[in-house]
Structure formats: structure tokens, C-alpha cells
Amino acid sequence: MSMQATPPPLAGLGSEADQGRGGGGSQRSAPRPLPPTPSRNGRGTLLGSIPWTLIVFLAAATVPWIGSRYNTFLAEQIAIDALFAVSLNLLLGTTGLVSFGHVAYFGVGAYICGILMKTYSLPFIIAFPAAGLGTAAFALVSGYFCVRLIKLYFAMLTLAFSQIVWAIAYKWDAVTGGDQGLPEIPYPNLDWMSSIPGLGDLRTSDQFYLFSLAIIAVSLAVLHRIVRSPFGRVLTTIRDNPERAAFIGVNVRAYQLAAFVIAGTFAGFAGALYGIFSRGVFADYVFWAKSAEVIIMTILGGMEFFWGPPVGAAALVWLNQQITDVTQYWPFVLGTILLVLLFVFPGGIVGGLYTMWIRLRGLRRA
């Protein structure tokens, strides 16, 4: 039927080879000027046969040994932001839902984990899953209402929910510590790590870095599976054409809600790790400007690609560190980066590289 004639809406189902060759011309004329999610990008070529993600994670795991304490700090920040941004991208890039309040779920996760570990002295093994469950429940309730709205109204309602979370965090002194926040959240008990040869002489903060890196790696692997699964394909179809998705029998709202809950839960995990990492949870974490920041990370990396947001997170954390060394006007720089992104490189870093690679390959063939 019309599948052949109009590839974009179901492009996610097409094979990679078609997209690579035929996509070059049609991409520019399409209303969404970005390439469709390339799933098995470059597999079969020499570059594609290298397990890049594994190498990156192994390299990241060596930071405590080869880098300074500050490097480990930055690496952990990047890793947590990467998970946060990938969770957002499940909505933004995969499902096409513009959430302007994703930080709410990050914050709820951070607060649940922090309150359980600090106020109730519960172990991490209970507090962390509880944070995920609590965030999922909150995402289910708020998402139920959000997915009923379209476009800008969806963005506004997610913003409203995140500001509700912020107002509660900021004012409910007895539980959240109000504007003082919850300082001194304990590290989880990582004594078992010391018995592993080679890890015993590391600082607790370094051990926690390795521990959270492992959690983040597993989370990203799960999210990757989700995006590549048939379920993920349906989400992409919804993004490209909700009417058509509904027409072929997809319950659009249910799928959107499922994506919302999954995205919220993983944001909650990221928040829980962040609270422990930064030794406290504060109301600032939930302020709406943070939602904008994580959106910028996602776009900077490239929201059409699974590994775009982590690249964006790394670039943004690194840039922030470089620039705040020189000037206090980081927001100005961030705003300028955003302008360049919007007007010159809407595909982000990975999108730009991908287009360049396609062009180079085309040149070599010609």
C-alpha cells in the first residue's frame, strides 16, 4: 500500500540501507529536516563493528585511576545527566512529546531517595527502587492528564506539574527541608566493593562513581532496548503521524502514557543518584529552568539519535566547566549556543556528524 510511497511516517520500520542512500535527498524537503532515527547505524562497516558504547563505558570506568578527583566529579555529572537526558529523549525525540517539566521526575526521585536514606536511614537497596516506584506512580498520575492535551498545552501542563513539585519542595519544611533543602545525604554502604580486588583503596566517592556508572549503564541499556523494540517503533510512528498511528489501531494515549511513565521513572533514577552524588537535594533542582537545561542537552547532542543526548550532556558539562573558569556569563554563552543550534545545526552534534558522514560516503562513491 502507501508504505512505499510515503516513507517518513513508518521510516523507523525501514531498513538502514534505504535510509542511508535514499534519505539524503528527501531529508531536506521533509518538514522535519532531521534524518529518521537510524537504528543500526553503520553496522557491517569497519567503524560499525567496533563496540563503541562498551569502549566508552570502560573508558569512563577508568577515570578514578587516571584522572583527578575533579575529573571523576565531572564524569559522574556527565553520566547522570546523560541518563536524565536520554530519559527525556524518549519523550522528545522518540515519541514527539515536548515536556517542559521533566525535571519534576528527576526531583521526585531525588527527594524520595534522599528522604528515605537520610530521614529514615533506610539502605540504598530499598530507597533506590522506592524512588523509581514513587516517581513512576507520580508520572502515571500526572502523565494521565498530560497526554490528553496537545502540543503547547501538553508543554504547559508538564510545566505546571513541575512547578507544583517545586512549590512543595520549597515550602514543605518538615519533609523536604524547604529552602534549606536536605543536606548530607549518606552514601550507600559500599563496603562490599572494597572486597573486590583493585577497588579497595578507592575513595568512597570514587566507589560510588563506579557503582552509579554501572547502574546508569544498565539503565541506558534498558532504554536502548525499549527504543529499539516494537514498542519503541510504535512510539516513533506516533511521533511522525499520530493520526495514522490511531488509524492503524494504536491506542495513542496509552502508548504516550507508557512512554511518559518510563521516561519519568528513569529520570527519577537519575535524580536519586544525583542527590547522593551532590550530597544533598535542594528545591533548586526542581525549578523549571532545569527542565530547559536538559532539553538543551538533548538538542545539543541530537534528539534524533539514541546516543545524542549523552553526547550533549558531556559537551554541556565540559563547556560549562571551561567557560565558568573564564567568565561568570555562562547563561549568555548557553543562550548563544542555543541560537546557533536552532538556526545552524538543528540536528545537534551527532546529527551534524551523521550528515557529514553521509556526505563523505556519497563523495567517495561518486
CB-based contact 266:136 (threshold 8 Å): no
Angstrom CA distances, 251 to 17, 141, 317, stand at 30, 18, 38
**Residue 179 binds another protein, judged by CB under 8 A:** no
Binding mask 345-364 for another protein (x = CB under 8 A): -x------------------
Chain center to CA of 263: 8
CA distances from 325 to 56, 297, 331 (A): 26, 20, 13
**In angstroms, what is the minimal distance from the CB of 261 to another protein?**
18
Contact 168, 160 (CB under 8 A): no
**Taking Cα atoms as reference points, which of 353, 360, 280, 273 lies closest to residue 312?**
353
DSSP state letter for 7: -
Least Å from the CB of residue 333 to another protein: 8
DSSP class of residue 5 equals T
Which positions from 66 through 95 interact with another protein, judged by CB under 8 A?
92
Least distance in angstroms from the C-beta of 168 to another protein: 6
Shortest distance (Å) from residue 253 CB to another protein: 14
Of 55, 59, 126, 149, which lies in the binding site for another protein, with binding defined by CB under 8 A? 149
The grid coordinates listed for 209 are: 562513581
Question: What's the gap between Cα 112 and its chain centre?
Answer: 20
Judged by CB under 8 A, the chain residues 257 through 316 that form the site for another protein are: 288-289, 292, 295-296, 299
Minimum gap (Å) between residue 198 Cβ and another protein: 44
User: Is 334 a binder of another protein (CB under 8 A)?
Assistant: yes
Q: Provide the terminal-to-terminal Cα distance of the chain, rounded to the nearest Å.
A: 33
Residue type, 220: L
Q: Tell whether residue 140 is a contact of another protein (CB under 8 A).
A: no
To the nearest whole angstrom, how small is the minimum distance from the Cβ of residue 330 to another protein? 8
- Residue of 49, 59, 126, 173 interacting with another protein (CB under 8 A): 173
Interacting residue ranges for another protein, rule: CB under 8 A: 31-32, 92, 98, 100, 145, 148-153, 155-157, 159-161, 163-164, 166-168, 170-173, 288-289, 292, 295-296, 299, 329, 331-332, 334-336, 338-339, 342-343, 346
